[in-house]
Structure 1
Amino acid sequence: MTKQTTINILLVDDHAIVREGYRSLISKQADLKVIAEAANGTDAYLLFKERQPDVVVTDLTMPGLSGLELISRLKQRDRKARILVFSMHQNPSFARQACRAGALGYVSKNSAPDILLRAIRDVYLGRHILSADIAQALALEKLGNEATALNSLTAREFEILRLLIEANTQEQIAKTLNISPKTVGNCHYLIKNKLGVNSDIELTRLAIKLNVVSLLDLTDLT
C-alpha cells in the first residue's frame, strides 16, 4: 500500500487568531500539516530557509515585509517555491501582481474552507489556481486607460506604490525592501510616469480610485 504524502505548510499571517483558525482547519486533513508559522514576511523568509516547507500560504498585507515582497524573495531564493496567497484583497490587480511575482495561486478569504484546502493541494502539484470570485473579477474586469496603466507596473513598482500611499518615506521603503533610496526614488518617478500623474496627491487619489488602498486603510494610518 502506497504511503500517503504529507504536504508541509508554512502559514504566514499577521493575525494570531486567524492563523489559529487556519491551523485548526488544516490539522483535520490527513495529508496536510502546518510545520511553521510567521506573523510577518521577514520571519517567514527565515523559516522558509530553515524548514523548507512544501507550500507557503501567505497573506499580502502585513507589517514590514509584505506578502508581495516575500513572494519575490522566496522565488529568488528557490525558483521552485510553491506559494499560495490567501488574502482579503479581492481587487484583481493584487491577484495579478501576486502571480506575476511568482505565486501559483490566489484565494480570497471570502472563499469556503474546502476551496483553500483544494488550492493548497493544487499548488503543491504545481498547478495554477484562483478562487472563483477572483477568477470572475479578472474575467469581467473592464480595463480603462488607468487600470491598464496600473497593470503595466512591475511587482516591485506595485509594492513601492502601496508603501508610498501608506505615507512611508523613501528611506523607510528602501529599508523594508532592502534596496537603495535612489532606487526607490527612480521607481517613484517611473510609477508616476506610467500612471500619468504629476504629484503624490494625484497618485493617492488614483490609488484609491483603483482600489489599491481604501480611505479606511489611510485613516487607520493616521
Structure 2
Amino acid sequence: MTSLDILLVDDHPVVREGYRRLLERQPGYRVVAEADDAAAAYRAYKAARPDVVVMDLSLPGASGVEAVRHIRQWDRGARVLVFTMHQGATFAMKAFEAGALGYVTKSSAPTELVRAVGEVARGRRAMSEDVARELAVDRLEKPAAALNELGPRETEVLRLVASGMTTERIAALLNLSAKTVQNYHYAIKSKVGAETDAQLVWLALATGLVSAETAEEQGAAEI
C-alpha cells in the first residue's frame, strides 16, 4: 500500500501521541483521526473513513467491543485492529465476534503493532502470539480429537479458511464451486462444534494446522 489512513481510539492522549509517532514513521502511514470513547470513534469513522481503526478496549462508557460492533454495523468492510492491555481469551473472543480483524496486546513489541496494522489493512487476520495461545487453550479442550472428525478435503478447507482466504479464493485454488466450499465450511463447523469462523481459527491454531505467521503468509495469496 502506498498510503494508509488510520483512526486511533484510546482514552489517553499521551498514549495516542505515542502510537501516532510510531505509525507515522512508516512510509505512507497517516493518522487522520483520533477518538477517546466509543461514540467519538463511531463519529470519527464516519467522517474520516480510515483504512484501519486501531481500537483500545478499555474506554470510558461503552467499551471498545461495542465500538467495533457499531462501526461494523455501519460499514461491513471496516477493518479494525484491537490493541489492548487485555490478554485474556474472553476479551479476544468478544472482539473477534464483534467484527475485529486483528488483536494485539500492548505487551507486544512496537514492531508487532506496525506489522498488525499492515496485515489488517490488507484484509488479513493478525494476532499476537500470546493471544493466539490463549485462544487455542481456552476454546478447545480436545482440539486434536475435533480435527479427527474431519476428512482430508474438509481439513484442507479448514486450513484455508483459518488462513483468511475467501470462499471464492478457496474455490479457485481447490477447483471447486463456491457453493461446494460453503457446504464444506458449514459441515466443518457442525462437526467440530464451532459457531463462528473465529473458533475455526482457534481450532487450526490449537492443532498446529496453521500458525499466526502461516495465517498471514497464506492470506498474502489473496493479494
Query: What displacement does 1:27 show?
Result: 1.4
Within the candidate set 41, 59, 84, 1:44 is matched to 41
Where in structure 2 are the equivalents of 1:134-213 lying within 5 Å? 134-141=131-138
**For residues 62 and 20 of structure 1, what CA distance do their matches in structure 2 show?**
17
What RMSD in Å do the two structures reach over aligned CA positions?
1.3
Q: What letter matches 1:37 in structure 2?
A: E
Name the SS for the 1:35 alignment partner: strand
Q: Which runs of 4+ in 1 moved over 4 A?
A: none
Which residue pairs with 2:191 in the alignment? none
Matching of residues 18-167 of structure 1 within 5 Å: 18-141=15-138
- Return the offset for 1:143: 6.4
Deviation at 1:66, TM superposition (A): 1.4
Deviation at 1:138, TM superposition (A): 1.4
Deviations 1:159-211 (CA, angstroms, capped at 9, x unpaired): xxxxxxxxxxxxxxxxxxxxxxxxxxxxxxxxxxxxxxxxxxxxxxxxxxxxx
Which AA in structure 2 matches 1:26? Answer: L
Give the distance between the partners of 2:106 and 2:115, measured in 1 at CA.
Answer: 14
SS of residue matched to 1:84? strand
Structure 2 CA distance for aligned equivalents of residues 74 and 139 of structure 1? 27
Q: Quote the offset at 1:111 in angstroms.
A: 0.4
TM-score (norm. length: structure 2): 0.61
Whole-angstrom distance in 2 between the partners of 1:33 and 1:72 = 24
The aligned counterpart of 2:12 is 15
CA deviation digits over 1:9-60, x for unaligned, max 9? 0000001111111011011111211111111111111011111000000000
* Number of residue pairs matched by the alignment: 141
- Percent of residue pairs identical: 51
Structure 1 gap segments, 5+ residues each: 145-222
